[in-house]
């Protein structure tokens, strides 16, 4: 397993083209792995995430079974004239040693971009419908619901006895994005929503949100699985990648 970090050059036209559609960026990430099966169901899990730290500081993270070659991304969205043979424009590190060191009771800073959803039924007897959580409180509630199966617990926040979970836990909900795009990103047909008359199954709407904070490891094996297989839905579109860092680091 590898964890890769690529710094995006936000001043380039190619960057703006890629970032305008999660489908485009998904395809660009997959292009870094030669020989992937054409059938998505047969491919190994490849997770990616964009962190918009500032307007000009955008980082792409990728977790994958194999080391990627991101030369094409450097040429389109990086700094191609500044790369060197031993510094090709991205950094990939073996992930297994870190994963193997995780232990119950460890405390870590974390970051996750996710697609928090739930199933609702508007009328009795009708099928349930998956819909996005849209408030920070409900989005944090979704993350709390992920804890048992993924082997972590959020640490107490500044007011651990507070009734409001947004103050009770050491976690921040931020960077909400409401995305609407096509699975075929070069389709010229305008897209205004999931029922805009485009080809069935081609329109995608997605609400994403970033979580950051501090957690405690409760089940190392389950957390290792979450770090390599992702959390929640929307993984093809930059959701689900959880990363850890020593407390006090971003």
Which CATH number belongs to the domain containing residue 90 in this structure? 3.30.70.1200
Is position 178 within any domain?
yes
The residue range of the domain holding 135 is: 104-245
Q: Examine the domain organization and report whether 39 and 126 are in the same domain.
A: no
Q: Examine the domain organization and report whether 212 and 149 are in the same domain.
A: yes
Q: Examine the domain organization and report whether 84 and 111 are in the same domain.
A: no
d(CA 231, CA 127) in angstroms, rounded, equals: 25
Dihedral angle over CA of 150, 228, 221, 118, nearest 10: 10
pLDDT (0 to 100) of residue 201 = 53
Q: Examine the domain organization and report whether 59 and 146 are in the same domain.
A: no
Strand partners, 51: 59
Is position 250 within any domain?
no
For the chain, the 3-state helix, strand and coil shares in percent, each to the nearest 5, are: 25, 30, 40
pLDDT (0 to 100) of residue 21 = 92
Measured in residues, the chain has a length of 250
Q: Examine the domain organization and report whether 208 and 141 are in the same domain.
A: yes
DSSP code for 17: H
Show Cβ contacts of residue 191 under 8 Å, excluding neighbours closer than 6 positions: 180, 181, 182, 198, 203
Q: Examine the domain organization and report whether 49 and 87 are in the same domain.
A: yes
Q: Examine the domain organization and report whether 49 and 145 are in the same domain.
A: no
pLDDT (0 to 100) of residue 184 = 73
Task: Yes or no: say if 95 and 229 are a contact pair by the CB < 8 Å rule.
Answer: no
Q: Examine the domain organization and report whether 87 and 114 are in the same domain.
A: no
Tens-level pLDDT at each residue, the chain (250 residues):
999 999 999 999 999 999 999 999 999 999 999 999 989 899 999 999 999 999 899 999 999 999 999 999 999 999 998 888 777 899 999 999 999 999 999 999 999 999 999 988 676 767 778 899 999 999 999 999 999 999 999 999 989 999 999 999 999 999 999 999 888 766 544 444 433 333 445 788 999 999 999 999 999 999 999 999 999 999 999 999 999 999 987 6
d(CA 7, CA 59) in angstroms, rounded, equals: 5
pLDDT (0 to 100) of residue 88 = 87
Q: Examine the domain organization and report whether 87 and 119 are in the same domain.
A: no
Q: Examine the domain organization and report whether 50 and 162 are in the same domain.
A: no
pLDDT (0 to 100) of residue 198 = 38
Whole-model pTM? Answer: 0.90
Q: Examine the domain organization and report whether 60 and 140 are in the same domain.
A: no
Is position 141 within any domain?
yes
Domains of the chain: total: 2
pLDDT (0 to 100) of residue 93 = 97
């Amino acid at each position: 397993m590898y964890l890769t970090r690529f710094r995006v050059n936000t001043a380039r036209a190619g960057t703006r083209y890629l970032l305008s559609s999660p489908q485009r960026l998904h395809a660009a990430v997959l292009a870094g792995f030669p020989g992937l099966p054409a059938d998505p169901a047969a491919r190994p899990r490849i997770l990616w995430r964009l962190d918009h730290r500032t307007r000009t500081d955008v980082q792409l993270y990728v977790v994958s079974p194999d080391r990627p070659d991101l030369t094409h991304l450097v040429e389109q969205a990086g700094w191609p004239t500044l790369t060197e043979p031993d510094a090709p424009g991205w950094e990939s590190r073996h992930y297994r040693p870190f994963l193997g060191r995780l232990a119950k009771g460890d405390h870590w800073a974390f970051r996750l971009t996710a697609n928090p959803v739930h199933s609702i039924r508007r009328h009795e007897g009708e099928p349930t419908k998956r819909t996005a959580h849209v408030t920070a409180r409900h989005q944090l509630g979704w993350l709390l619901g992920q804890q048992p199966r993924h082997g972590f617990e959020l640490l107490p926040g500044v007011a651990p006895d507070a009734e409001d979970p947004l103050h009770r836990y050491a976690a921040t909900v931020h960077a909400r994005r409401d995305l609407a795009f096509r699975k075929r990103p070069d389709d010229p047909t305008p897209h205004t929503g999931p029922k805009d008359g485009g080809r069935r199954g081609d329109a995608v709407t997605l609400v994403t949100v970033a979580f950051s904070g501090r957690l405690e490891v409760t089940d190392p094996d389950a957390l290792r699985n979450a770090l390599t297989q992702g959390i929640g839905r929307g993984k093809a579109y930059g959701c689900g990648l959880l990363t850890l860092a020593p407390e006090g680091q971003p």
